[in-house]
Structure 1
Amino acid sequence: MRLGEILLQEGIVDVETLERALSIQQKSGAQIGDVLIALGKINPLQLAKALSLQFNLPYRNAVDYPANPETLKEVVLVVGEQFLRTNAILPLGRKGNALGVVTSRPNAKEPLEALAKAMNAELFLFVCSEREIQTALTNHFRDSYTEESTMGLFFRNPEESAMETFTTLQLVLLYSLVTLFLFGMLFRGRETLLVLFFLINVFYVFSLGFKLLASILGARTEILEQVSDEEAAALDPKTLPVYTILLPMYKEPEVVKHLIAGIMEMDYPLEKLDVKILLEEEDTVTYDAVRALRPPANFEIVRVPYSVPKTKPKACNYGLLFARGEYLTIYDAEDVPEKDQLRKVVAAFRKGPENMICVQAALNYFNSDQNLLTRMFTLEYSYWFDYMLPGIEALGMPIPLGGTSNHFRTEMLRLLGGWDPFNVTEDADLGIRASAHRMWVSTINSTTFEEANSHTGNWIRQRSRWIKGYMQTYLVHMRNPLRLFRTIGLMPFLGVQLLIGGTFMTFLINPILWLLFIFWIAFRPLWMESVFPLWILTLSTLNLIVGNAMGIYLNMLAVFRRRLFHLTFYSLMNPFYWILHSIAAYKALWQLFTKPFFWEKTVHGLAKK
């Protein structure tokens, strides 16, 4: 008897519901049980019991009747925990050649046959819901899962982890430079300042030149992974794979309804979405809000056990353990992705090279006109995603990912080691790490709309975390500069210097130079001309003027692709916006030494309705 007929016979669904589900199944090619789950018409327990009747197998609750620890250990040593999690299989016990196994997919022959072959055993099957199997596995491996999500990258490759902020060599170099500067100021003050300001000006020239070049290329180059709306719509739903969506949240009950509704409205078969709502164990308010909405069972709440550091990348690593999708993405609590984004990404991956690990969608804001700060934020992001990133990609430089709407090949992400839980800008780090492992990151012509920060204090908290993460990323990847250069090549290496290092260095240097040379222009004190020759004062002033003028011009350029012409005037406020960046940068520098792994939480839901 077919599964639908069993559910109908048991009175779990009615004829109208079954006909609707069969119509959807015919289009998407998904299992009828998954379709009914996604429609919210049955729950995982009802599906499991119906499958047990269909295959004439006994039902067994994997939580109430736990597995034999020795058998579980034996199986894990052979096939690994990930195999059990991905295929929702739980070994119960073994006697001789017979291995008792609970599965939520008794019709999935391939993984069951692989397990039987690997264990050289005859399988005796029981049926249980996938959720109960995952709960049972989590009960057994809770400490292991927590350790993997927190320390996995560090244990496998400590040089790629930000757990150690400064290496001994970096500290020696830092203290040596500070000592050299102090001795220089003490014995050769004028010459020391001349060398310092000359180097700063050279850095500024290269930084400005790089931004201008990347912007020109970005303006001339369409996003490399272009997928038309028609191409995305033409994808056969039957060929679309399971897609995992991670939704990390922390104490954000007010945005849950909006977020879940947005995911359910996406142009992708709902029955092929594997949605993981990642919540810290102590976050009862968001948990209660999700439960109250009663989303379909393919929207699964994953409780992240308490451990240090308590960061978004650690939560994402924990969610990655349970991801079933061929592809995986992250959306933040306030995100509104374009409806066909997942389809466009699938098309981009199919067209792209095999080593393409990630496709980054553009980010922009739905509350751009709320106040001056949101307008500046919108100009900044429009320039970054519409001009700068395509230009960086055209130059062959590594792309520092955005914190959301980055889409991965799931298995390649696992091979790369997932996210660094100790890096508070884990996205940028992942983009550089992918390049170091010769994996390709690309951009795509799809946008996710977010909530722009409308409160200055909240903006500085968020931006200081981002800048601190850039500092961490630079320190991690510059632990062995020569090896990095040999691994990734000249242009990507320059990209790390100018994009990652140059970003925070510019923000730290700006206020010092601005104050110094505004003071010189305004008052022309004799002591400055006695310390600095006229040529360096002129060069510094020129850098100041040209740099700010170019920043204003590039912000003006940002409005064209999205036709945000009403924001053009606000580009003139760019120098004042940069002052906020400098405030955030000094806060980030302080925290780098005092609390490097502290996650400055951004408050969402401040946009005017």
Structure 2
Amino acid sequence: MTARTTLTPDRRLLRAASSERYAREGWLPLAMEDGVVTVATSSPLVGRRRSRVEAEIGAPIRVRTVSQRDLIAAYMSVYGAEVADLAADGLYRKNPAMSARHVLSRGQVVALVVALVVIAAAAVLWPLVTLMVVVGVASVIFLASTLFKFEVALRGSRFDLVDRVTAEEVAALDDAELPIYTVLVPVFREARVVGRLVDNLGRLDYPADRLEVIILVEEEDDETREAIARSEPPENFVILTIPKGAPQTKPRACNAGLEVARGEYLVIYDAEDAPEPDQLKKTVVAFQRSDPSTVVMQAALNYFNARENVLTRMFSLEYSYWFDYMLTGLDVADLPIPLGGTSNHFRTAALRELGGWDPYNVTEDADLGIRASALGYRVGVVNSTTMEEATSRMGIFVGQRSRWIKGYMQTALVHARQPLRLARTIGLRRFASFALLIGGTPVTFLGVLPFTALTVVAFFIPWDQLSVAFPAVVFWVCLLNFLIGNGLMVYLNMMGPYKRGTFWLVAWALLNPVYWILHSLAAYKALWQLITKPHYWEKTEHGLSEFDERAAAFA
């Protein structure tokens, strides 16, 4: 990394009305001498652009060319506290009902208390009946959610809505006419992998003068910052230090990056990601041929270490079915799509209109997808793949999944605060989809352990003893629902490898019931954390795999 030039803006020259545009437009007033203002700029300041800046400053200007890296550092030295405040609470101030800052609204608290009192009273007065009703309702939700996913995935299997961009279309692009593209990479305690990250992003086929890579590093994370410096990133890589603050989450860091992003388009990558080199150009073409209502393009995700162990194989099966069938099925049915956490390509203006990410929601991607859908926006899928590292260790996996499931719980609670209004806005069909996918998924996972226990018990306890607690019809309906649900998910996971040609994974789908037990453990951890520390971000450690993504990627 080259030595940084220290820029010290004269605060008397800064205008509050212009503050959010300084970094986004790449200019900043520095000092005035003899009536002339020196303006730092990271891009040419000529013609109408120069005239507009002079008019805004109210004085003739002298241009000083600097790197965007230096300009953002100077900007943050003045506006860092404001950026941090907006990153944390901008959405909450704009639309409190859409923020997970408060887990439950007042109405939800009242409804929950009433429901618990009614259930407790019923359990005292009619214990067996109450038990049967609770188990029966959970069984119906379990099967309904599973059937919904099965139907959507089957529908998706009949279509291929991926916005296919050919190599010829990519080659036809004129580099001089490409829009500025911003890449946001939130990292925290990722010193182990940032060197590889710089290499991976350095392979992106996009002109350097139009590519802005912003690596978002928490203020106290000196180890990662030093590792980035040792990797000697190119000049168009900007290291943005996120000021200390709460909540300390990935979406808060991304919101800070959004505040200074210059790109017409913007993409999120995680620290371990290896996107295909032409992914940005493919996405530009895909956006150019789509209508303005398509504000997000989702690239597919896959794992370079799928063969590492049983857990990574199950991870790969799940992602194959999700990205190749579920997303397509949701899209063709015009249903809300929860985004993945990485390789989401946005129209930056639309992302700002949506209020950015909710820093209090630990699955900010899913929440943003639902919020975009509620406003009538659409999500496209582009034919490009980003290789990631699948979690290969059990403890880390349960922690990661508990965060994801907790985020689904948060998203369900946030968007159900005004259920009638939401149903009127998006329609009953899409509301039902939201309820079954976002609300039903955590409930399904919570039901796996008790239903598994019930299934095991059925083989070891004589029926005359078991029927004391469960009438035959209740027991067999619940057992049938559980077995059908597991069978459907095994089938869906077997479908996953077909579009990708990874047929060696098919047989591993038989282990899906065991995989779901891990999810159930994570769901109970998520529920506990939702109560005790709802905004805690369960960090997923990367760089533990011994597999080389370059050897496995894009094979």
* Shorter-normalised TM range: over 0.9
Larger relative contact order (C-alpha < 8 A, sep ≥ 6)? 2
Return the match for 1:201 from 130, 133, 139: 139
Q: Does 1:252 align with 2:195?
A: no
Q: What's 2:64 paired with?
A: 127
Return the match for 2:243 from 300, 305, 310: 305
Q: Does 1:238 align with 2:176?
A: yes
CA distance in 2, matches of 1:106, 1:233: 27
User: Given the two structures, how large is their TM-score scaled by the length of structure 1?
Assistant: 0.85
Change in 2 beyond 3 A, CA 1:110/1:456: farther
CA distance in 2, matches of 1:148, 1:560: 45
Q: Deviations over 1:346-384 (max 9, x none)?
A: 111111110221111111100001011111111111111
CA distance in 2, matches of 1:355, 1:227: 19
Larger Rg belongs to: 1
TM alignment of 1:219-230, pairs within 5 A: 219-230=157-168
User: Given the two structures, how large is their TM-score scaled by the length of structure 2?
Assistant: 0.94
Q: Does 1:76 align with 2:16?
A: yes
TM alignment of 1:357-368, pairs within 5 A: 357-368=295-306
Residue pair 2:152, 2:330 contacting (<8 A) in 1 also: yes
Residue pair 1:44, 1:297 contacting (<8 A) in 2 also: no
Return the match for 1:370 from 305, 308, 321: 308
Return the match for 1:178 from 92, 116, 122: 116
Return the match for 2:506 from 553, 565, 568: 568
CA distance in 1, matches of 2:3, 2:50: 24
CA distance in 1, matches of 2:295, 2:47: 29
Q: What's 2:467 paired with?
A: 529
Return the match for 2:533 from 571, 588, 595: 595
4+ long deviations beyond 6 Å: 42-45, 93-96
The alignment yields a C-alpha RMSD, in angstroms, of 2.1
CA distance in 2, matches of 1:363, 1:490: 31
CA drift of 1:117 comes to: 4.0
CA distance in 2, matches of 1:106, 1:375: 50
What SS is found at the alignment partner of 1:176? helix
Q: What's 1:146 paired with?
A: 84
Q: What's 1:25 paired with?
A: none
Residue pair 2:248, 2:537 contacting (<8 A) in 1 also: yes
CA distance in 2, matches of 1:302, 1:500: 33
Change in 2 beyond 3 A, CA 1:575/1:89: same
One-letter identity of the residue aligned with 2:193: V
CA drift of 1:582 comes to: 0.3
Q: What's 1:54 paired with?
A: none
Q: Does 1:103 align with 2:24?
A: no
TM alignment of 1:579-594, pairs within 5 A: 579-594=517-532
Number of aligned positions between the proteins: 545
Residue pair 1:264, 1:270 contacting (<8 A) in 2 also: no
Return the match for 2:10 from 54, 67, 78: 67
Q: What's 1:504 paired with?
A: 442
Residue pair 1:400, 1:432 contacting (<8 A) in 2 also: yes
One-letter identity of the residue aligned with 1:160: M
Residue pair 2:140, 2:481 contacting (<8 A) in 1 also: no
CA drift of 1:221 comes to: 0.9
What SS is found at the alignment partner of 2:330? helix
Q: Does 1:272 align with 2:210?
A: yes
What SS is found at the alignment partner of 1:253? coil
What SS is found at the alignment partner of 1:357? strand
CA distance in 1, matches of 2:48, 2:124: 74
Structure 1: 5+ residue stretches without partners: 1-39, 46-60
Q: Does 1:489 align with 2:427?
A: yes
Change in 2 beyond 3 A, CA 1:325/1:178: same
CA distance in 2, matches of 1:213, 1:176: 35
Q: Percent same amino acid at aligned positions? A: 44
CA drift of 1:464 comes to: 0.6
Change in 2 beyond 3 A, CA 1:95/1:127: closer
Q: Deviations over 1:192-226 (max 9, x none)?
A: 23333332233233223211211111111103423
CA drift of 1:314 comes to: 0.8
Q: Deviations over 1:455-478 (max 9, x none)?
A: 000101111111111111111111
User: Which range is displaced more, 485-494 or 280-289?
Assistant: 485-494
TM alignment of 1:345-356, pairs within 5 A: 345-356=283-294
CA distance in 2, matches of 1:102, 1:487: 47
User: Which range is displaced more, 504-513 or 528-537?
Assistant: 528-537
CA distance in 2, matches of 1:334, 1:457: 19
CA distance in 1, matches of 2:122, 2:302: 47
User: Which range is displaced more, 585-594 or 388-397?
Assistant: 388-397
Residue pair 1:91, 1:99 contacting (<8 A) in 2 also: no
CA distance in 1, matches of 2:378, 2:331: 10
CA distance in 1, matches of 2:487, 2:11: 70
CA distance in 2, matches of 1:384, 1:229: 26
Q: Does 1:218 align with 2:156?
A: yes
Residue pair 1:473, 1:500 contacting (<8 A) in 2 also: yes
Q: What's 1:577 paired with?
A: 515
What SS is found at the alignment partner of 2:342? coil
TM alignment of 1:183-194, pairs within 5 A: 183-194=121-132
Residue pair 2:301, 2:385 contacting (<8 A) in 1 also: yes
